[in-house]
Structure 1
Amino acid sequence: MTRRLLLLTALYLLTQLFAAQHSCAETLALRESPRRLTFNADSLDVAGENIVAEGNVTIAWDGKVLTADHARYERDKGTVVAEGDVLLVDMEGNRVECESVSLNMETLEGEIRQGNLYLADSGYKISAKSLRRTGELTYEATDASFTACDGSSPSWRFDADWLKVRIEEFLTGGNAVFRVEEVPVLYTPWLIYPAKTQRTTGFLPPKAGWTTRGGTELKIPFYWAFADNADITMTTDYKSRLGVGETFDLRYILAEGHDGNFKVKLLHDKEEDDNEAEVKGEHLSRFSRDDLLDLKVDYVSDASDYREDSETLELRGIVRKESRVYGAHTMEPGTLFLLGRWTQALLEPQGDTLQQLPRMGFYGVETPLVYGINSFTEAEATRFKRDEGVDGDRFRVNHGLTKGFGDNSGWLRLGAGYRYNYYDLNSETYEKSGPWVEADGRVALGRQWGSALHVVEPNINWRWEERNRDDEVEYFDEEDIFKDSSTIFLGLTNRLLDTESLRELFLLEFGREVGVRHLTRDGFASVNWENYRAVMELSPFVNTKLRLDGEYADDEGGRFNRWAGLLTAKDRRGDEIRFERNFIRGEADYLDGGLIIPFNESVSASYRNRFSLRDDIRLEDETGLKFSHPCWEVTLTYSRVYMADEDRIDYRYYATVTLAGLNRLGKFRW
């Protein structure tokens, strides 16, 4: 019994000793107007106006935290001196790591010795033998280095005898050496680098290259953030064989809901001794939920040169450009609108191009009448204008009644109405009119198979039209078509959905239209089956998709009028493949394929090829090599482009180099 009592007593004493060793940390809180300071350390000694902290020191104030091995706080001066593994962090994520620091706790001005300064918003890092904070946004350093690379061994940096940093302006330095992987590459007696956490005014990375048509090319962009709600990028575009051009890219926000961007490109072609221009942009104003104004400009001064100089096949394939002004006011009965559209033809004579200047009208919503019957009205007035050919005015009205039945699992919608067009063309008047009846129905059938949901949706649409009056007039658009017809469209949609991932695994849409004319006692006088139309999408795996769509005609033994296929796939390693084929009977048949292969996290290669099977010629191919790093990126591309107008190949080489932080445009504010 005595031995057990002695053992319990010894265990109790050991427990109390262990607890005493782990509760020796001391905490002190001070109210230093206007700040509250909290000290925590293994040992705190208050001697007059000084507080000395030893071991695992933590000082917190105004959202800032300082940790060190030793610290001394002088209350009368409001300064702290800390030594040994010093770390200072603020709420924005900026931090200082150093051997020792002496600073004013109110202004944060002071000196940092053998330390690193990291600015979170910009990602900039400054290491220095001596670093002084001389103001709220200014620093001075001696025997220093600067980089926008993270990590202890940055792949590039500037070493300088001295550095001065003013946040939101620039970093400057003297006797600087630019190093890549510790290898000196460039010496400069004076260094300047943007040091803004928001948008940065300054030069952006240049793009260099060579093309057969343009010769040596160099693009040097300069970014000017002249206001919080606007900026402009001005790019000098030098082409040794063509001349020098300028591009102005403006972004702006006039007020909340009123914003836009416009690009103007100018080039003096020294070969032809003329000036070329391109203007492209859009402005959108939302005055309220019910009112908007949309302005779009798209114009080139020389259509042939635009197609030749465009960098992508998509741009070279553009056959027309459209500019417009659109305004709309929405109210309870419907929407009033005004549209002015001007079209620039790039291949056809501009004089034959039809313009809509202007088009105005009212689109009414379906308004309830009685017994679930709704009424709607559409009214438009359009002025068609062109230099050559028939032009004039068209007034169009379409009034109808509708009634719907059913819910999401199945519904039927019936409609009937009357269309009327009035024309005033070249001082002559014409009319077109006729009634119409329409029925549209759909049923949704579904069944669950584990996590897969199979949905089948058959649908049918029937429309009957009759011509009461059909004067022969110039065709402007589909609203000019009036005919005696009765057509039925039969469709079927098949879907397979994964309910767990909410992903569509399979889709098949199939349909065909049949025209039925002159219903008599003996049956249909004529039945005209139109072409088959189908779309299929298959996505058995994430990031893998096959899409096929086309139109098939069963006349003359059966043939496709058009079809297209697209396969895209991407694996976990980052390999990507894309293959597409497009066929339009009598017009085009081409292949478009490409792939991206990442060799590792830093190097990837890409290839793309477009080939015309119809003309047996390569339209375009491009080979690219990208070297990526958190601190920099280098992209090299080589492409061959077929110039159809000149029946030749244009060879193009480009190189782009980017350093981290140099091309930061920052946040756009208003």
Structure 2
Amino acid sequence: PTGDAVATGHVVFYDGQDQLTGERLDYNLKNGTGVVYNARAFSAPYYRLSGERMERLDESLYKIYRGVLTTCEDDPPLWSVHFGSGTVDFDNYVFGQNASFWVRKVPVIPFIPVFAAALRRERQTGFLPPTYGNSTLKGYFAKVPFFWAISDSQDLTVALDAYSARGVGANAEYRYILSGRAQGTATGFFVDETELRDDVRGYFKLAHNWTIGPGLSFKADINHASDDDLFREYGDRLFERSLQRTDSNVFITKSWQQWNFVGNFFWYQDLTTPRSVELQRLPDLRLTSVRQPVPGVPRALWELESSAVHFVREVGSEGSRLDLHPRALVPIRTYGTLTFTPFVGVRATTYDQKVVGSKTVYREDRVVELTTDAVRTRVLGETGTDFEARASRIYDVKAAGIAQVSHQIEPRVNYTFTDGVAKDKLPQWDGIDTLARRNAFTYSLTNRLLAKTIAGPDERPVKWELARFLVSHTFDADASTRPFSDITGDLIIDPNRYFRFRADAAYSVYAGNALRSVNSDIGLQLQDITATIGTRWNKSANISFVRGEAGARLSRYLALRGSSDWDAEKGVFVENRVGADLHFQCWALALTYINRAGPSIASGTQTPRADHEFRFSVDLLGIGAIGTQAGFGP
């Protein structure tokens, strides 16, 4: 009548998909509660729990005394968490008190007041793998992140950042989805440098995307740093430490069938000088039309580009500009492969400022314009033509997995004549303002190889661009000096999924200049090996840079990685990284050594000391980091 039952010996009890075994089971058949003694439990996919006594409180919910948790298959396990008492919900979490962390039979961390971990959930609330290390400039450091799965549409990651030679700080990332049309991310970092100069420094970023309705969207990308040196001192990767400014954009776009509108607020924070010279656009409004038929004129099309911009900056001229640029054109297609498109247009640009002189700002070492309030309108007329053609031929290959290759040749020629009135005393804010008389030919030749794979009877062939080579050049007949532009070339080779090559170059036709710039990137991706090499060389900017990166999986347990950035112009290894990742059945270890040396890209000043950094991170399968509520500190 009471529903009590007792089982002894090798007892096996199934609670949903979870299996429990023990020496004795006291169970009430009516209310589903009971006790398993000397119990062991397995919860998919890899959680293993044991305890002297496990009391079943509800479906999948247990109270455990003198419990042990691990995800290791070995006995004794490579790592485990022991706790005096705790609660486990096999569908949700495990929570323990008076805990300790063991490696094999050794209590490495003898006391952890409170331990918690999520079970089975795809987005688990709990500690993430911490990172510890030592840096020449920051001292010993620790980063202990905690992930909070707030809901299906929100999560928050908060990390403690502690540096023995700097101070204590934190960083956070909040991600949200407000609806199927709106989502965003807010991130931030701060550090209280109590050990250095007693200063609070930090960085904030907000990114928000909102699709308001059909064709209407709002986007924001806002960035701000507390000071110019923050990224150089706390950035991890080279691109962060070499940032020269942070950009912020807030814009709304609206698209119709034949029109597009973009309203943009753009501002930035210059990280190289206290007072910025570059322009900010507050706001920048642009309305453009797609090409559309001219009513009553067969084959004729028209298009419009227009903008209204208010320029703001701390040093130099600022003001407003309205620009209208309508064009009419008539595409004429002949012989099936040739397209001849004559065009005519006008550009009217109105300014509220007039240049009256210039001055040198010695602190910024720049010459800036002096302007006064005055409305001026520049009118430019333009005419010209575009000519383009395409010829192709298909070759049967049937080798190396390629069935066919199509060779396409695309010559293009553009002639543009531009001239007008009121072209002097105008502010020079961007490329629109520099437009003047022009009588130029631009010609280019593109060669493409398009490949198609060999496909089986039930397969679809894959098509891709095997190679592309583009050469272009411009001649301005009215240019008083140097009418010929640089010859530019762009080459892409993508023969298969393992190898990719891309390069571009600029060559001057004038004696004494020759090659002006060369950039290249080579990528190799095999099953267990990846490697990339990139070069950047620019003669006028005094840039000569080489970057290499490689990774190799040597076995199922070990992977190696490394990267190097070499400034050949200054003869300095800007950054070197080497690392190893060890993966085992129930844990993983990541080791990284970083050497940062040489001049700062952002300021051009010599770093007083090279920064040697070593870091490591341990990841326990299914758990992440082991620690108290506040996580492991340094």
- Provide, for residues 33-52 of structure 1, a one-character-per-residue CA deviation record: whole Å limited to 9, x for no partner: xxxxxxxxxxxxxxxxxxxx
Quote the residue 1:261 is aligned against: 185
Return the offset for 1:322. 0.9
The equivalences for 1:28-177 within 5 A come to 94-96=17-19, 98=21, 117-120=41-44, 123-127=46-50, 131-141=54-64, 144-149=67-72, 155-159=78-82, 163-167=86-90, 170-173=93-96
C-alpha displacement at 1:472, in angstroms?
A: 3.2
Amino acid at match of 1:298: N
Offset at 1:494?
2.3
Q: Is the 8 A contact 1:172 1:190 kept in 2?
A: no
Q: Secondary structure at the match of 1:556?
A: coil
CA distance in 2, matches of 1:554, 1:272: 54
| Match of residue 445 from structure 1 | 392
Question: Structure 2 CA distance, aligned partners of 1:457 and 1:87?
Answer: 73
Identity of aligned pairs, percent? Answer: 19
Q: Which residue of 2 aligns with 1:632?
A: 587
Select which of 446, 469, 473 maps to 1:492: 446
Partner residue of 1:371? 298
In the alignment, which of 138, 152, 175 is matched to residue 251 of structure 1? 175
Q: Is the contact made by 1:145 and 1:160 (CA closer than 8 Å) also made in structure 2? A: yes
Could you tell me which residue of structure 1 aligns to residue 148 of structure 2? 224
Q: What TM-score results when the alignment is normalised by the length of structure 2?
A: 0.81
Structure 1 stretches lacking a partner, 5+ long = 1-73, 519-523, 665-670
Of 472, 485, 491, which aligns to 2:425? Answer: 472
Partner secondary structure for residue 468 of structure 1: strand
* Cα pair 1:170 1:192 within 8 Å, conserved: no
CA contact (8 A) 1:430 1:471 kept: no
| Equivalent position of 2:457 in the other structure | none
Q: In the aligned structure 2, how far is the partner of 1:482 from the partner of 1:330?
A: 32
The change in CA–CA distance for 1:78 and 1:509 in structure 2 (over 3 A counts) is farther
Question: Which structure has the higher relative contact order (CA within 8 Å, separation 6+)?
Answer: 2
Structure 2 counterpart of 1:430, from 373, 376, 387 = 376
Amino acid at match of 1:396: D
After superposition, residues 254-403 of structure 1 pair within 5 angstroms as 254-270=178-194, 271-369=196-294, 370-403=297-330
Which of 436-445 and 288-297 deviates more? Answer: 436-445
Distance 1:619 1:409, change over 3 A: farther
Distance (Å, rounded) in 1 between the aligned partners of 2:538 and 2:29: 74
Q: TM-score, normalised by structure 1?
A: 0.77
Going from structure 1 to structure 2, the CA distance change for 1:178 and 1:236 (only over 3 Å counts) comes to closer
Provide closer, same or farther for how the CA distance between residues 79 and 486 of structure 1 changes in structure 2, counting only shifts above 3 A.
Answer: farther
Task: Answer yes or no: is 1:513 the counterpart of 2:463.
Answer: no
Q: What CA distance in whole angstroms lies between the structure 1 residues aligned with 2:420 and 2:520?
A: 44
Instruction: State the partner residue of 2:412.
Output: 460
Distance 1:213 1:192 in 2: 33
1:605 paired to 2:532: no
Q: 1:417 aligns with which of 345, 360, 365?
A: 345
Deviation at residue 464 of structure 1 after TM alignment: 0.8
Worse overlay, 619-628 or 532-541: 532-541
Q: Tell whether the 8 Å contact from 1:609 to 1:622 is kept in structure 2 after alignment.
A: yes
- The answer to which structure has the higher helix fraction is 1
Moved more, 334-343 or 481-490: 481-490
Structure number, greater radius of gyration: 1
Secondary structure at 2:232 match in 1: helix
Q: Could you tell me how far 1:532 is from its partner in structure 2?
A: 2.3
**Compared with structure 1, are the counterparts of its residues 528 and 166 closer, same or farther at alpha carbon in structure 2 (3 Å cutoff)?**
same
Partners of 2:11 and 2:3 in 1: how far apart?
24
Q: Answer yes or no: is the 8 Å Cα contact 1:284–1:294 preserved in 2.
A: yes
Write the deviation string for residues 495-543 of structure 1: whole angstroms up to 9, x where unpaired.
242423636574132212231526xxxxx99994432222223344532
CA distance in 2 between counterparts of 1:408 and 1:207 reads 66
CA distance in 2, matches of 1:556, 1:368: 48
CA deviations 1:410-454 (Å, max 9, x no partner) are 463624322111111131222222223341524151313231313
C-alpha separation in 2, matches of 1:413 and 1:117: 77
Q: Compared with structure 1, are the counterparts of its residues 165 and 97 closer, same or farther at alpha carbon in structure 2 (3 Å cutoff)?
A: closer
Q: Distance in 2 between the 1:292 and 1:402 partners?
A: 31
**Counterpart residue identity of residue 145, structure 1:** V
What residue number does 1:194 align with? 117
Q: Which residue of 2 aligns with 1:71?
A: none
CA–CA separation in structure 1 for the residues paired with 2:279 and 2:420:
28
Match of 1:482 among 436, 444, 447: 436
Deviations 1:29-82 (A, max 9, x none): xxxxxxxxxxxxxxxxxxxxxxxxxxxxxxxxxxxxxxxxxxxxx9x9799999
- 1:240 Cα deviation after fit: 1.8
Match of 1:546 in 2: 501
Pairing 1:617–2:541 present: no
Partner of 1:237: 161
Worse-matched range after superposition: 430-439 or 289-298:
430-439
**Cα pair 2:215 2:254 within 8 Å, conserved:** yes
Q: Structure 1 residues 176, 215: CA separation in 2 closer, same or farther (over 3 Å shift)? A: closer
Find the counterpart in structure 2 of residue 652 from structure 1: 613
Write the deviation string for residues 79-104 of structure 1: whole angstroms up to 9, x where unpaired.
Answer: 999998968596xxx44264898988
What CA distance in whole angstroms lies between the structure 1 residues aligned with 2:179 and 2:420? 52
Within the alignment, does 1:213 sit opposite 2:137 as a pair? Answer: yes
Structure 2 residue matching 1:530: 3-state secondary structure: coil
Change (3 A) 1:409 1:456: farther
Say whether the 8 Å CA contact 1:111–1:133 is kept in structure 2.
yes
- Partner SS state of residue 658, structure 1: strand
Alignment CA distance shift 1:366-1:186 (3 Å):
same
Deviations 1:364-383 (A, max 9, x none): 22233342333222221100
Quote the Cα distance in structure 2 between the aligned partners of 1:173 and 1:408.
Answer: 81
Q: Measure the CA separation in 2 of the matches of 1:267 and 1:248.
A: 12
**For the structure 1 residues 150 and 544, does the alpha-carbon distance in structure 2 shift closer, same or farther, using more than 3 Å as the test?**
farther
Query: Per-residue deviation at 1:346?
Result: 1.2
Name stretches of at least 5 consecutive residues in structure 2 with no aligned partner. 354-371, 455-460, 626-634
Q: Using the alignment, how far apart are the partners of 2:217 and 2:335 within structure 1?
A: 33
* 1:550-561 aligned within 5 A: 550-556=505-511, 559-561=514-516
Q: How does 1:570-609 map to 2 (within 5 A)?
A: 570-572=525-527, 574-586=528-540, 587-609=542-564
- C-alpha distance in 1 between matches for 2:244 and 2:216: 32
Alignment partner, residue 20 of structure 1: none
Q: Is the 8 A contact 2:588 2:620 kept in 1?
A: yes
405-414 or 308-317, which moves further after superposition? 405-414
